[in-house]
Amino acid sequence: MSPGVQGLKPSFTLVPMEKTAKQKTNYGAVVEDLDLESITESDVKALSDAIWTHKVVVVKNQQHLQPIKQWELVTRFDPDAPLVHSHGDIKTFNEKGGILSRGRDVLSVPNAENVRIIGKGYLGDDHFGIKARSITKPLSHDWHDLPLSVEEFNKGHTRFQRWHIDAPLYARDPAWFTTLRCFKRPTAPNVTVHWDDGSGTKMDCEPGLTAFFSNVQTYGLMTEEEKRIADHSWVEYAPHPYQWMGDCRSNPTGLGVVSQGKEKALEDLQPYEEKDIKRYPMVWVNPVTGERAFMVHGICVRRAFFRSGPDQEPRVVDDVAEIRSWLKGIQERVLKPEYIMLPKVRDGDIVMWANYQMFHTAVDYPDYMGSRAMHQANIGASSGPVGPMPIPTIV
Ligand SMILES: [Fe+2]
């Protein structure tokens, strides 16, 4: 599925991402000596391998990069992919994006439609042809079931927004990688991310960063029995999943939704095609390292098919509360400060991650800290995730 050229010698240097002694993260690398404006084909392949291997890679100092070059790089990572952003063109995304697009401005960069501008506040007098525009968006935590007061938020009490993979989970396969270029963000003062789940867990970080955890590590925290089930099981995502769950509310940690029966009935969704409904294995195998990642995007799952061996008849579960409860018990093990990393991207840096291995989320901050402008690009993959075992195509 991937170019798969492990062992290729890059012309650039990969340095492990800094971490504290307390952190148990086993991913992350930084590159300081690469110019993405004129990257060679062999370096594209080496960078692709580096992302699969290190999961999160920050390429420093790309201030000069033309936006279209970011899109070109994305297409070169997956040359057989259809030439469109994984969430479709901007019109489709704004019309059908459900909870992903509702209430916020999602802009494209002029002459680079598949590069999306995300962030908030004033973009600048002329941002690649976009004149004097401010981006507005709802507060990131406003879809959490347990409210966070504006007063607390303005004091720097924040939360993880929505742990996710960048994945339409309908019609197109998720991008192998996402690239996120930082134009500007505030760097001070620190905010404090609270779990607000009764555990008292919290962690400090700079404002405007993206948080990550590795689902290879999640898999590593599962019991042998859980691994056996996950290796042989699969999930079915709802058609137009972000419309389907668009009225649901999240746990305060941003991981998973609360089961309140707010999922839409299938007949209330926009028309959909049966063939476009996605069924993916619960475990996705890294094509370069062979590592297994527990990759279930619980907020969009409508049905799960559990089995413990290749010849077993699956137990079909369509009670989303039961599915979510099982997922929560597993996925929350990695939701601890020591497994979470927020790479400190500076203006001009690009962070790229293995979307088939990681969960990520935004972390909002009070507006008075300053505006944030990022360019995001990825491409619906030419081939989807592969599990450790084949799953039946029709059940
Ligand atoms: Fe994302």
Say if CB 73 and CB 179 are below 8 A apart. Answer: yes
- Please tell me the distance from the alpha carbon of residue 281 to that of residue 294, in angstroms, as a whole number: 9
Scanning the structure block, which residue is given the tokens 């401010």?
Answer: 134
Distance 100 CA to ligand 1 centre (A): 9
Reduced to 3 states (helix: H, G, I; strand: E, B; else coil), residue 300 is helix
Distance 312 CA to ligand 1 centre (A): 35
Distance 342 CA to ligand 1 centre (A): 14
The reported pTM is 0.94
Distance 360 CA to ligand 1 centre (A): 6
Distance 26 CA to ligand 1 centre (A): 21
Helix axes 41-54, 67-77, angle to 10 degrees: 70
Distance 309 CA to ligand 1 centre (A): 33
pLDDT at 130: 93
Distance 166 CA to ligand 1 centre (A): 5
Distance 355 CA to ligand 1 centre (A): 9
Say if CB 32 and CB 13 are below 8 A apart. Answer: yes
Distance 179 CA to ligand 1 centre (A): 10
Distance 284 CA to ligand 1 centre (A): 18
Domains and CATH numbers, the chain: 14-216+334-377 (3.60.130), 224-331 (no CATH)
- Give the tokens for residue 235: 């999930």
Residues with CB under 5 A from ligand 1 (ion): 166
Distance 123 CA to ligand 1 centre (A): 20
Distance 167 CA to ligand 1 centre (A): 8
Distance 29 CA to ligand 1 centre (A): 19
Reduced to 3 states (helix: H, G, I; strand: E, B; else coil), residue 227 is helix
Distance 290 CA to ligand 1 centre (A): 24
Distance 190 CA to ligand 1 centre (A): 22
**346 CB contacts (<8 Å, ≥6 apart)?**
60, 182, 187
Distance 62 CA to ligand 1 centre (A): 21
Give the HSE-up count for residue 45: Cα atoms under 13 Å, Cβ half-sphere: 10
pLDDT in tens, the chain (395 residues): 444 445 567 999 999 999 999 999 999 999 999 999 999 999 999 999 999 999 999 999 999 999 999 999 999 999 999 887 777 776 676 666 666 666 666 789 998 989 999 999 999 999 999 999 999 887 778 899 999 999 999 999 999 999 999 999 999 999 999 999 999 999 999 999 999 999 999 999 999 999 999 999 999 999 999 999 999 999 999 999 999 999 999 999 999 999 999 999 999 999 999 999 999 999 999 999 999 999 999 999 999 999 999 999 999 999 999 999 999 999 999 999 999 999 999 999 999 999 999 999 999 999 999 999 999 999 999 999 999 999 887 54
Scanning the structure block, which residue is given the tokens 């990825």?
Answer: 378
CA angle 381, 102, 152 (to 5 degrees): 110
Distance 361 CA to ligand 1 centre (A): 6
Say if CB 179 and CB 376 are below 8 A apart. Answer: yes
